Structure formats: C-alpha cells, structure tokens
Amino acid sequence: MESTNYNDDFAIPVLTAGDSFVLGYTDETKGIYPASKQCPVIIFDDFTTSFHWVDFVFKVKSSAMKLLTIKDESQATLRFLYFAMKCIPFEPSQHARHWIQSYSKFKVPIPPLPVQLEVVRILDKLTTLEAELEAELEGRKTQYEYYRNKLLNFKEKVL
C-alpha cells in the first residue's frame, strides 16, 4: 500500500506529471526512480499529456505516469526531444490514456546531433533568462504594491 504521509522533512519528492508536479516528500524506499543530471527522465501524464523534465531522484506516484528515456543516445538527446514535445499541438479531448493511443505516434524531425545540442543550448539559455525575468517582474510587482499601498494610504492624515 502506498503511503500519502508526506512531510517536508523527508528527502525524496513525490511527483505527478500534472500541474502540481511535487505532491510532497516521502521517506519510502519502494517505487523510487534514480534520475540524475547524468540520467534524466521526462515524466508524462498519460491522461492530461502534461510532462516535466526531471533530473533528480523521485518517488513515482501514479500508474498513469510514463517515464520517458532515450533508447539510442547516438541519434537523439532527451533534452532535444523534451523541447520538441513542447511544440506538439495536442489537446486531449477525452479522459483516456493518450500515450499509446496518440502521443507516442507523433513524428519528431531529428536533426544531426550537433544541431540538436545547439538547439538545446540556446533553448536552455532562453529558459534561464525567462526564469530570471519572471523573478525580476515578480519583485517589481511586490515593490510597486508596497509603494502604492504606502503612498495611497488614506487612513493617515495628510497635512
């Protein structure tokens, strides 16, 4: 029986491929996937087709989660395929298992390995820049709200 006794003091994240991604943390030892920076995996939700890049050890939560890896690393990189999957315009219209029925049948053009590596380098850089810009924007919003509330506080008397 799988536990749902999650605790932030535990070390291993329990993942779902859905939007919530990290459900909590566990101390369980069964169902642990040993992903790492050297051996990453894409987790794919069979029902929603949501997916995430994972390069750390985690607990598999759902039987609907597919763990995608590369069969032949001399032909393609997993990171390239991850970015290619982001470009597949598929919206599930029914509650069904989509990997075998639909998603795994999409054809992805595979350029030569040096081209894949350059695409990944550029997209990783842009992903990092996007995260930095989002953090900056969030900081600016917080700053704006602080000064707006401070300057437009009508509870204090103005002389």
What tens digit of pLDDT does each residue of 71-88 get?
Answer: 988 999 999 999 999 999
∠ CA 33-35-36 to the nearest 5 degrees? Answer: 155
Three-state SS at 41:
strand
Backbone angles phi, psi at 97, to 5 degrees: -80, 115
7 shares its domain with 33: yes
Backbone angles phi, psi at 65, to 5 degrees: -85, 125
Report pLDDT digits (tens) over 11-60: 899 998 777 888 899 988 888 999 999 999 999 988 888 899 999 999 98
Report pLDDT digits (tens) over 91-119: 877 877 878 888 888 999 999 999 999 99
Check if the beta carbon of residue 95 is closer than 8 Å to that of residue 48: no
- pLDDT band of 1, cuts 50, 70, 90: very low
**Would 41 be classed as within a structural domain?**
yes
The number of folded domains in the chain is: 2
∠ CA 15-17-23 to the nearest 5 degrees? Answer: 35
H or E stretch including 22?
strand 22-26
81 shares its domain with 101: yes
46 shares its domain with 3: yes
pLDDT at residue 158 above 60? no
Q: Which domain holds residue 25?
A: 1-107
**Would 54 be classed as within a structural domain?**
yes
- CATH number of the domain residue 64 falls in: 3.90.220
Residues 6+ apart with CB under 8 A from 148: none
State pTM to two decimals: 0.79
pLDDT at 63: 79
